[in-house]
Amino acid sequence: MTSISTRTGRRLRAPGRGWLAVSIAIAALALLPIAAIAVTAVEDTGGLWSHIIANVLPEATRNTLVLLVGTGVIATAIGVAAAWLVTAYDFPGRRVLEWALLLPLAVPTYIMAYAYLDIMHPLGPVQGVLRDILGYSSPREFRLPDIRAMWGCILVFGFALYPYVYLTTRAMFLTQAANLVEVSRTLGVSRRAMLWRIGVPLARPAIAVGVTLALMEALNDVGAAQFLGVRTLTASVYSTWIVRSDLAGAAQIAVAMLVFVIALVLVERWARGNRRYAHNGQRPRPMQPHRLKRARGIGALVLGTLPIAIGFLGPALYLLTEAIERIDYAGLSPQLVRAALNTVTMAAVATLVVLAAGFAVAYAARLRPGHVSGTSARIAALGYAVPGTVLAIGILIPVAAFDRFIDGAMRDLFGTSIGLLMLGSGAALVYAYAARFLAIASGSIEAGLSRIPLSYDHAARTLGRSSTGALVAVHLPLARTAAIAAGLLVFVDCMKELPATLLLRPLNFESLSTLLYGEAARGTYEDASLAALLIMVIGILPVIVLARTGAPRP
Domain end position, chosen among 311, 331, 351: 331
Whichever domain contains 544, its CATH number is: 1.10.3720.10
Quote the pLDDT of residue 36.
Answer: 87
351 shares a domain with 250 = no
Higher pLDDT, 245 or 408: 408
DSSP 123: T
DSSP string, 230-279: ---HHHHHHIIIIIT--HHHHHHHHHHHHHHHHHHHHHHHHHHTT-----
> 73-93 b/e with 16+ CB inside 10 Å = b?
ebbbebbbbbbbbbbbbebeb
Lowest-confidence pick of 145-149, 323-327, 431-435 = 323-327
Do 273 and 397 form a contact (C-beta atoms < 8 A)? no
What pLDDT sits at residue 5? Answer: 45
Instruction: Give the total number of structural domains in the chain.
Output: 2
Please measure the distance between the N-terminal and C-terminal CA atoms of the chain and give it in whole angstroms.
Answer: 34
Three-state SS at 47 = coil
Residue 232 or 177, more confident? 232
Same domain, 433 and 307: no
Same domain? For 25 and 75 the reply is no
Say if 285 falls within a structural domain: no
Taking alpha carbons only, the member of 30, 32, 120 closest to residue 384 is 30
Q: Does residue 52 sit in the same domain as residue 102? A: yes
- Whether residues 26 and 72 share a domain: the answer is no
Query: Does residue 113 belong to any structural domain of this protein?
Result: yes
Q: Strand ranges (DSSP E) for 18-157?
A: 89-90
Q: Please report which confidence band the pLDDT of residue 554 belongs to, taking 50, 70 and 90 as the band edges.
A: very low
Q: Give the DSSP H or E segment for 291.
A: strand 290-291
Mean residue pLDDT of the chain comes to: 82
pLDDT at residue number 530: 84
- Assigned domain for 495 exists: yes
Hey, which residues does 12 pair with through a beta bridge? 4
Q: Are residues 313 and 412 in the same domain?
A: no
Residue 280 placed within a domain: no
Residues 33 and 89 reside in one and the same domain: no
Residue 183, pLDDT above cutoff 80: no
Q: How many residues does the chain have?
A: 554
Exposure letters 394-424 (e unless 16+ CB within 10 A, then b): bbbbbbeebbeeebeeeeeeeeeeeebbbbe
pLDDT at 342 over 50: yes
pLDDT (average), residues 185-195: 65
Q: Are residues 467 and 521 in the same domain?
A: yes
Does this model's pTM top 0.75? My answer is: yes
Render pLDDT for 471-499 as a digit per residue (tens, 0 to 9).
Answer: 888 888 888 888 888 888 889 889 888 88
Assess whether 132 and 243 both reside in one domain: yes
The model's confidence at residue 12, banded by pLDDT at 50, 70 and 90, is: very low
The answer to whether position 2 is within a domain reads: no
The whole-number pLDDT of residue 71 equals 94
Domain that holds residue 353: 15-42+332-554
Question: Are residues 24 and 133 both part of a single domain?
Answer: no
Q: In angstroms, rounded to a whole number, what is the distance separating the alpha carbons of residues 397 and 390?
A: 11
1 burial via Cβ count (<10 Å: 0-12, 13-18, 19+): exposed
278 pLDDT more than 60? no
Per-residue confidence at 172, pLDDT binned at 50, 70, 90? confident
Residue 139 lies in a domain: yes
DSSP H/E element including 3: strand 3-5
User: What is residue 252's predicted lDDT score, i.e. its pLDDT?
Assistant: 78
Residue 526 pLDDT greater than 70, yes or no: no
CA–CA separation, 104 and 159 (whole Å): 7
